[in-house]
Chain A
């Protein structure tokens, strides 16, 4: 069941279009990453979905609430981690959380604050002023603040931006835990490895939605899958046999190394290996060429640039 749905969601700032005609659906319990270059509309999208700003056109429904109506009710069921932690540095971690918790209908604020301080590993430092915290600790506390009312949907705007690798790793670990616990998370990030690591699906936007799919499907969409086979020695008979296989699209030969492009790597690989062995090939290693999300993302951006320049010419 979709917990986030948008229908032609658009936002203009004067003459500038920040988000254009965004239509998508996110299922309950999904972790979706929002990727795009600076100024692509990631923060505007998150702000619209979290009911901070309204759309110019179109609509969004999050957890059953229209984001441009009944905002107060919407805010009770969504949590948001903003780009900057936005904490009160002269207050303690406990007081920061108590303050924000008081705006929600929570019966036992003290107990809830304790739960999330412990979850974020900040219980021992609960009475320390936030001004004395490291960036990573502040980000963990901000995450606790976004979770304090146990929202149905969590919006994270660049949650690891500006953190050192260790702190970023800690925050990522926490987000992964939340995702595994079934929390619906919609996160914007510039970090493609992070998106690949944490998200079930990836949305790429550049004002408009360019793609929304699993990493695997995005890879398939842009790159052929190549199986790399190292034989004991070059064998023309093996190459000829492989070329005849119906699922093989292309074979590149470099001495005893073969790069074989096939339609479905998982399904066709066993048959491929059997055919090579039956043709007398002696396989030393077999591996699959891996395309990163970064390569997929860059390909998408190239396509977008090309279609933009076509539209302008």
Chain B
């Protein structure tokens, strides 16, 4: 019964998502824009920044960590070392995709239902709170994840077309795959879960969005840590981080169920 209910919530949410041209465009175009922007940034840095960028203390620290993690990089010319560094950092940039989509989509998931009056009808059915929240979370997280993977594929394709293929083999480390296939799903679920919670706690769509924007900051911090080389994410560290976030996902679901107060949602939102 639970599986049937969640599957049905997923199906309904996807039907609604893809029959709204704005939402459909947002989900499909935003990831490609993020990837496109990232590639342009790397190309500009590689083409015009070159060795002068490597000279900055920020990059020096990061490069030292990179050389420690992948000793082969030491044999490359400085400009290619910079390229490997930038391409390695792009993996965290991809994490922004599910988060941005969550801010745009998940924040409306409960508010919209309340505004159209369907939430009260839904709460009059035997649906359990956790089924509803998990269904809504997965309904956003799955397409966001697929788009992240498609974007990663596009990224690799462009890297190949730009003849950066030789260095990209140094970038596609076990960490890269762990981030893409373990950390990104964990982050996607967390983002959408927090988005849905924000949506259920806020008084209207606008305040829901304002609340949920906060979830972007931890990921920006993660990118900052990687860029500045404070911590280099080795495969084991990435695995630990992914497992921690998966555990947080579970805790977040339990917290979300407690925070989703059917009664106050029904009474207070008008």
Contact = CB atoms under 8 A, between A and B. Distances in A.
Interface of A: 13, 47, 50-54, 72-73, 75-76, 78-80, 82-91, 95, 98-100, 102-105, 142, 145
A102 B118 contact: no
Summarize B's interface: helix, strand, loop or mixed: helix
Given A53-B267, A90-B15, A102-B5, A76 B117 contact: no
What 4 A-B pairs come out closest when comparing CB atoms? A86-B117, A84-B117, A103-B125, A102-B8
A85 B125 contact: no
Summarize A's interface: helix, strand, loop or mixed: loop
A104 B15 contact: no
Contacts of A86: 116-122
14 contacts: A52-B124, A52-B262, A72-B126, A72-B128, A75-B124, A82-B117, A83-B117, A86-B118, A88-B16, A90-B19, A91-B15, A95-B15, A100-B121, A145-B121
B126 A103 contact: yes
Contact of B120 (A72, A82, A91): A82
A83 B1 CA distance: 29
Contacts of A13: 267
Nearest to A98: B8
Interface in B126-141: 126-128
A247 to B, nearest CB: 50
A54 B8 CA distance: 28
Contacts of B127: 103
Given A75-B125, A84-B117, A54 B263 contact: yes
B210 to A, nearest CB: 26
Given A47-B266, A53-B263, A105-B1, A142 B121 contact: yes
B49 to A, nearest CB: 47
B116 A76 contact: no
A88 B12 contact: yes
Contacts of B163: none
B252 to A, nearest CB: 23
A173 to B, nearest CB: 22
Contacts of A73: 126
A80 B121 contact: yes
A36 B261 CA distance: 28
A13 B264 CA distance: 10
Given A86-B121, A90-B20, 14 more contacts: A13-B267, A52-B120, A54-B263, A72-B126, A73-B126, A80-B120, A86-B117, A86-B118, A86-B120, A90-B15, A95-B12, A100-B121, A100-B125, A142-B121
B4 interface: yes
Interface in B96-150: 116-128
A100 to B, nearest CB: 6
Nearest to A76: B126
Given A53-B267, A91-B15, A82 B8 contact: no
Given A91-B16, A95-B15, A99-B12, A53 B266 contact: yes
Contacts of B5: 102-103
Contact of A90 (B1, B16, B117, B128): B16
B227 to A, nearest CB: 42
**In this complex, which of B119, B125, B128 has the most chain A Cβ atoms within 10 angstroms of its Cβ?**
B125
A190 to B, nearest CB: 18
Nearest to B125: A103
Contacts of B8: 98-99, 102-103
Interface string B228-262: 00000000000000000000000000000000001
Interface in B1-28: 1, 4-5, 8, 12, 15-16, 19-20
Interface in B27-70: none
